[in-house]
Amino acid sequence: MLLLLPAALRADELALVRALLAAARFVDGRLSAGAVARRVKHNEEMDPAAQDLERLNRVVMGGLARHPVYRAGALPLHVAGPLYARYRPGMTYGDHLDDPIMGADGVKYRSDIALTVFLNSPDEYDGGELVIRSAAGEQVVKLAAGDAVLYPAGNIHHVSPVTRGERLVAVTWVQSLVRDAARRELLYGLNAAREKLLRDAPEAAETGQVNAAYLNLIRMWSDL
């Protein structure tokens, strides 16, 4: 399931993120890649030792945490601190799979969902599309600044070469309460119906039944 998160960041948050990144030091993106991905990864990432990293993370993760599509679609249990990536002309990230287990210093998490937040306008660069392979074929994503996309981390994906300008994104990964992507998709659709019923007919017997089904499926399928 691929889900779009329009306006994950507000205009003021986006302006702050852009200002902090403009002053940041970037390093070779291959430093954060596994052995296989390192062969196809050619970008730059914000220095993980940068003093503004925690401030950036609070802004970006705060925007995601309040977004209803993120909460309903990801059902987040653990979330990684974002990587802030920059692509300049000639840079790309070839076909790869994200590592299934991530983390360091003894804190490990399963990467069920990958999430990209677009930090600058698509008019500012050519190329740089995020291309995700799925059973339905290739899905090409290039969104407005502040928008985000989430998709199963087990899908092969790549970033097309940038041919003009600069592409800026924040990338993170989520361990979901519900491991199985098909179950998450069912829950997302059921929750949409549930929320509409709770708004429109909160006292109806059917509303109570749908609400109970959703909550008990979460109970049945969650990893906790």
**Report field, pTM of the whole predicted structure over 0.75:** yes
Note the pLDDT of residue 35. 76
d(CA 160, CA 92): 6
Evaluate if residue 105 carries a pLDDT over 80. Answer: no
According to DSSP, residue 123 is labeled G
Query: Topology of 3-176 in CATH?
Result: Jelly Rolls (2.60.120)
Evaluate if residue 134 carries a pLDDT over 80. Answer: yes
d(CA 157, CA 131): 5
Note the pLDDT of residue 103. 83
Note the pLDDT of residue 72. 97
Would you state the structure tokens that stand for residue 131, as one six-digit string? 């291309």
Instruction: Please give the average per-residue pLDDT across 198-207, as a whole number.
Output: 97
Find out whether 171 and 113 touch, Cβ atoms under 8 Å.
no
The model's confidence at residue 38, banded by pLDDT at 50, 70 and 90, is confident
Instruction: Domain ranges for the chain, please list them.
Output: 3-176, 181-221
Would you state the structure tokens that stand for residue 26, as one six-digit string? 């970037």
Evaluate if residue 104 carries a pLDDT over 80. Answer: no
- Residue type, position 102, single letter: M
Average pLDDT, the chain: 95
Backbone angles phi, psi at 142, to 5 degrees: -150, 105
